[in-house]
Structure 1
Amino acid sequence: DAILDSMTWLGLDWDEGPVYQTDRLHLYREHVDRLLKEGKAYACYCTPEELEERRQKALKEKRKPKYDGHCRNLKGPVPDRPPAIRFKAPERGVTVLRDLIKGPIEFNNEELDDLIILRSDGWPTYNFSAMVDDALMNITHVIRGDDHVNNTPRQILLYEAFGYPLPEFAHVPMILGADKARLSKRHGATSVMAYKDMGYLPQALVNYLVRLGWAHGDQEVFTLTELVEKFSLENVGKSAAVFNLEKLQWLNGVYLRQEKPETLAGLLLPVLEQKGLQPRSPEWLVEVVKTLQERSKTLAEMAEAAEFYFRSDFAMEEKAVKKHLTAAIKEPVQMLMAKLESSPELDEKGLEEMFKEIITARGIKLGALAQAVRVSLTGRAVSPGIYEVLKIVGKEEALKRIRSAIEKI
């Protein structure tokens, strides 16, 4: 379900299925029986303890710790031991993987051991069941991480044993963390849905992940339609890519700025609700989004920046209070309060005129008055435009906050 949920959120649709391997066990067993009848597989009665003992012995003798073929030519069954089934791989020759990304890779068959295809509990192994599924479903291209390269010669031999046509194989380099080690939880979130929870847009994450190991000229931003049209394996890089969270944040910011405010408001709402914040109305929330859209990199960052619109019990930045809420600015702020109280409604043009009248009368700079009001309304020295903030916070709430702030001067 996690895979399907991730694909649905990312907007990646599928043509059929999903198909579950648990519904196809009879097919895998039919294929195992076929190999047994043709002498291309055999029963292996070796216990895990026996296999580990031989493995340790091989390591001590500086030999490759592969299966030694102990049961390969066994004449009969071993009583009271359920066997695993192994594929009887050729012991000579070379298997060639013609990889669409890495080019041809040769594997000496003598280095490949006899792969278990059916465990003693009756369950097929990944390498076997995946190969059967791909063959029966007429899969033409198998594209996966290059950590599967060493599985591929074994699967090629299985295709050949059944007489099935080989698909094309393409092994994509792994994604690395900033320390050039394989990406893992210690580098941060690695599941797709974790990025949803962190406030990323699905189209931004798809764009970033595709662009991470593939290039199309210098273009950085792609719609899903463009990716489908322009993607080709020829332009997939051969070297591992490094996951750069700052680059993802930048790209997500691009998508946030391109999105309609009404759409973003709908996406932002559940993030706000998780923080216990409820907008006054859908239209009011759209206005809030418009003030933050240009400066936010994620929905989570936008929700955090929007908190002052929803509540007045925010912490005031001590440095901002000390710098901007001074005795010298108290009277100009009180003049603004008087004008606000007598104003029937707040609009940006009218607010701008109020500020101009006050700074002209008092001989002060606009920044001094604007910053004092900004800190009073938001608790911070940095916020969206002061006229926008005043209009959205609203007359009564603005007066309440300003009054509370200047009383502390």
Structure 2
Amino acid sequence: MPLTAPHPYIHWSEGGAPRTARWRSESGTAAPARVLPADDTLSADAAYRLACEGTALLWRGDYHNARQLLQALERRIARGPRKGGDARPALASPSEAFHRHRQAQAQRARVLGMLLLPLDGDYGVPLRRAPDARAACAEAWGPATGEPAAVALRELLGLVGAHEWRRKGVEIPALGGARIHPHYGVFSPVRGEYVDLVAQAPLPGTELAFDIGAGTGVLSAVLARRGVRRIVATDMDPRALACARDNLDRLGLSAQVELLAADLFPPGRAALVVCNPPWLPARAATPIEHAVYDEGSRMLRGFLAGLADHLAAGGEGWLILSDLAEHLGLRTRAELQEWVEAAGLRVLARADARPRHPKSRDAADPLHEARAREVTSLWRLAAR
């Protein structure tokens, strides 16, 4: 039986000789089957045609010209077909518009992902005027292996952007202006309204709290600063646990917070159990999207179903949830209330806040109208 390669590779011919490089893709995209070397002489129209046909372009020219080409590809995708018009049927519902939009975004990502950059064995980009992306790559992938690789330019730009977020941090008013430093692949707390809701809700007790889905550790930090003596924070993602540990260490709160790799609840019962699950019940197309999309509302329903068994007497569960899914027709308020009642829970109160995030400027984006009506809520739940 042939051995399976531990990592995917891309293959191409250059200078009359076969070449190979390790394929890097945090988005989970398969290694392209067809790869051609390309440089500054390639026109944007030719690049667009090749990318649409599924041919990846391994860039050998100037780095900034590669970025300009990527922008040119984006303009051609936005322009759409030049002939024939739009023959798509009228949309029947917001959910249909949402799913169609996600399909278009996936196609856009596929085409843009065909522009590749080479990487040296130390994650250096061997192109003219290329930035030093070694730290960004190491944060996402771990130490360099000495093996040449290739990555989509679009993905490398995401790694560099994440590195800057991690370096600068996100200011959290609820922590007195202290900063949370999100790691690559961990949801950044740029939407501060859900953090403020946790900072303002009346505490049912201060002895022990559970933070389900720790992420960056921001909610654990807020609870610790509010005087909760001990917090057990869980997450299944090793990156999230490492990120939370880093932030708690920076804030001097590690002694109050225990981090545990677990699916939802830790053992025992607590006076307070907090959960901020992914808000949209749709299938994640890439591993990174799991912070936003939760197929079948698995985490939300699991939290509700197990909450009563993990609450101390008189304890509360705090569910932080946007109603964006309701505006998109992906989940109804009645369904959510049915899940609450079926879990043997009752709603004590609900606090709402308007989100403070940039609205989409694309009128064709179904999130554009939904976000204009979106409200983030903290549901205070108790066992019946």
Question: Which one scores higher on RCO, CA 8 angstroms, separation ≥ 6?
Answer: 2
Give TM-score scaled by structure 1 length.
Answer: 0.23
Give TM-score scaled by structure 2 length.
Answer: 0.24
Report the structure, 1 or 2, having the larger strand content.
Answer: 2
Higher radius of gyration, 1 or 2? 1
Report the structure, 1 or 2, having the larger helix content.
Answer: 1
